[in-house]
Chain A
Amino acid sequence: GESVGLHLPTLSVQEGDNSIINCAYSNSASDYFIWYKQESGKGPQFIIDIRSNMDKRQGQRVTVLLNKTVKHLSLQIAATQPGDSAVYFCAETPMDSSYKLIFGSGTRLLVRP
Chain B
Amino acid sequence: GAVVSQHPSRVICKSGTSVKIECRSLDFQATTMFWYRQFPKQSLMLMATSNEGSKATYEQGVEKDKFLINHASLTLSTLTVTSAHPEDSSFYICSARPPGRGSNQPQHFGDGTRLSIL
Q: Residues on A close to B: CB < 8 A?
A: 1-3, 5-8, 31-32, 34, 36, 41-46, 49, 51, 89, 93, 95, 98-106
Contacts and interface: CB of A to CB of B under 8 A. Distances in A.
B54 interface: no
B42 interface: yes
B76 interface: no
Interface of B: 4, 6, 32, 34, 39-46, 49, 57, 86-87, 89, 93, 95, 97, 103-112, 114
B44 A103 contact: yes
Given A5-B39, A41-B111, A99-B97, 11 more contacts: A3-B42, A32-B103, A41-B112, A44-B109, A51-B104, A93-B103, A100-B49, A101-B44, A101-B95, A104-B43, A105-B43
21 contacts: A2-B40, A2-B89, A3-B39, A3-B40, A3-B42, A5-B40, A6-B41, A41-B111, A41-B112, A42-B111, A43-B6, A43-B110, A44-B95, A49-B106, A93-B103, A98-B32, A99-B103, A101-B46, A103-B43, A103-B45, A104-B43
Contacts of B104: 31-32, 49, 51
Contacts of A5: 39-42
Contacts of A95: 103
